[in-house]
Amino acid sequence: MMKLSVAIVCALVAAAALVIGGEPAAASELKVGYYGKTCKGVENVIKWHVIKALKQNRRTGAALVRLLFHDCFVRVRSYACDRAHQIMLHTYCSKQFDVVGINGGFEQCAQGCDGSVLLDKSYENPHPEKEAPVNIGLAAFDLLEEIKAAVEKRCPGVVSCSDILIYAARDAGSILSNGHVHFDVPAGRLDGFVSSADEAQRELPDSTMTVQQLADNFAAKGFDTEQLVILSGAHSIGAGHCSSFTGRLSEPPQQIVPAYRDLLNYKCSQGANPDVVNNVRDEEYATVARFMPGFTSRVRKISDFLDNTYYHNNLAKIVTFHSDWQLLTNQTSLDKVHEYANNGTLWDEDFSDSLLRLSKLPMPEGSKGEIRKKCSVSNHFQY
């Protein structure tokens, strides 16, 4: 009996605490130049770090662009939130932990671009998004943590990790495209509390999907087939693990050029699930010379150029993922692949718009968040 009433009191105290603090972050409140007064120059600080990192390794830029997509595209549904909420109350009661600022209802407590992909495994998030199979190969976490530390030094507690991620991905896109991909980032996002591998697995597209499944997946987030085709052009940069294109290694010639299939098979035999560049242009010269001698003139000294070559490769049936090839099998998407293959400037512009649109996938009105001190852990869960 005693135990029960303690539990009730504790729940009431916790519930009362829950409604205080934490500004809502509806998409409509995002603003270009959001930190102009509160953290002057923050965009330059971030850019400086991104430039420095990409000078060392351009692949990090690809990782940032993918992180933006994988953060923004995942909605966390209420049951994952409820669970986190329960754990939080439990934590509060057993350790007198401060839970101020956390959404009471906890409906849709984390959604869209909320930095949830950056959270590490913890008691409250035992299976974070990072652990989802679909998130294989995610990287650039250290860079973001380095940037966050620099920004915290300059203006503590002001700039969210979710905003830093978007700024950094925007800068990476710009650098890798020689400035052709560019847009102003509206900011003012808050960092979410919940990160769920199940949700990421459910919400993110898989490389084995058909064009219809891809279109449906994007439609669920308000993106049409044209935007699916535009955004898939990001596969002109970066790499994928062999396990992400196992099926491609035995597909028939109508789906993949046999010489390219041989090249992929060779690369994949060189280690335990190694990663292979998405764009044949970024492959080692000797490997291309051996399997696709006609392509050696395309091999570049500097890798990871973000441009419309993805569409040329796709039409030539030399792309890595089944999902990429699938875009050729539907008339609507095929027309778009042709359009972007024919006009690189058009793609630069439309890709910029679509990336911006991704970055605006909102936390719903009334959601609560925080400004994390470190991007990999929630402030409320540090113990």
How many Å from the N-terminal Cα to the C-terminal Cα in the chain?
Answer: 30
At its nearest, how many Å lie between ligand NAG and the CB of residue 288? 29
At its nearest, how many Å lie between ligand NAG and the CB of residue 342? 7
CA distance 311 to 235: 9
Binding mask 262-291 toward ligand HEM (x if CB under 6 A, else -) reads -------------x----------------
Whether 380 is catalytic: no
Q: What are the phi and psi torsion angles at 41 (to 5°)? A: 80, 5
Residue 63 contact partner, candidates ligand NAG, ligand HEM, none, CB within 5 to 8 A by sort of partner:
ligand HEM
CA separation, residue 123 to residues 120, 141, 257 (Å): 10, 20, 47
At its nearest, how many Å lie between ligand NAG and the CB of residue 360? 22
Distinct helix (H) and strand (E) counts, the chain: 15, 6
Window contacting ligand NAG (CB under 6 A); options: 108-116, 250-258, 309-317, 324-332: 324-332
CA distance 173 to 129: 23
- Let me know: does 249 contact 320? Beta carbons within 8 Å: no
Q: Contact between 238 and ligand HEM (CB under 6 A)?
A: yes
- Let me know: does 347 contact 338? Beta carbons within 8 Å: no
CA distance 329 to 322: 11
CA distance 243 to 224: 28
User: Which of 14, 63, 118, 200 touches ligand HEM (CB under 6 A)?
Assistant: 63
If the CB atoms of residues 101 and 362 are measured against ligand HEM, the closer one turns out to be 362
Q: CB atoms < 10 A from the CB of 198, how many?
A: 15
Residue 207 contact partner, candidates ligand HEM, ligand NAG, none, CB within 5 to 8 A by sort of partner:
ligand HEM
CA distance 112 to 223: 14
CA distance 343 to 322: 24
Q: CB atoms < 10 A from the CB of 327, how many?
A: 25
Window contacting ligand NAG (CB under 6 A); options: 132-140, 197-205, 260-268, 342-350: 342-350
- Let me know: does 352 contact 306? Beta carbons within 8 Å: no
Residue 139 contact partner, candidates ligand NAG, ligand HEM, none, CB within 5 to 8 A by sort of partner:
ligand HEM
CA distance 179 to 346: 14
User: Which of 146, 343, 360, 364 touches ligand NAG (CB under 6 A)?
Assistant: 343
Binding footprint of ligand NAG, residue count (CB under 6 A): 10
Binding mask 202-241 toward ligand NAG (x if CB under 6 A, else -) reads ----------x--x---------x----------------
Binding to ligand HEM (CB under 6 A) within 342-381 occurs at none
Instruction: Give Cβ neighbours of residue 342 (< 8 Å, ≥ 6 apart).
Output: none
Residue 282 among known ligand-binding residues: no
Residue 232 contact partner, candidates ligand HEM, ligand NAG, none, CB within 5 to 8 A by sort of partner:
ligand HEM
- Let me know: does 363 contact 190? Beta carbons within 8 Å: yes
Window contacting ligand HEM (CB under 6 A); options: 7-15, 21-29, 62-70, 99-107: 62-70
3-state SS, residue 336: helix
- Let me know: does 99 contact 88? Beta carbons within 8 Å: yes
At its nearest, how many Å lie between ligand HEM and the CB of residue 355? 6
CA distance 117 to 133: 13
Residue 312 among known ligand-binding residues: no
**Known binding positions:** 71, 74, 112, 114, 116, 129, 205, 235, 287, 307
Name the site residues for ligand HEM (rule: CB under 6 A).
59, 62-63, 65-66, 69, 136-137, 139, 205-207, 214, 228, 231-232, 234-235, 237-241, 244, 275, 321, 323
Which residues does the annotation mark as catalytic? 70
**Known binding positions for heme b:** 235
Name the site residues for ligand NAG (rule: CB under 6 A).
212, 215, 225, 330-332, 343, 345-346, 349
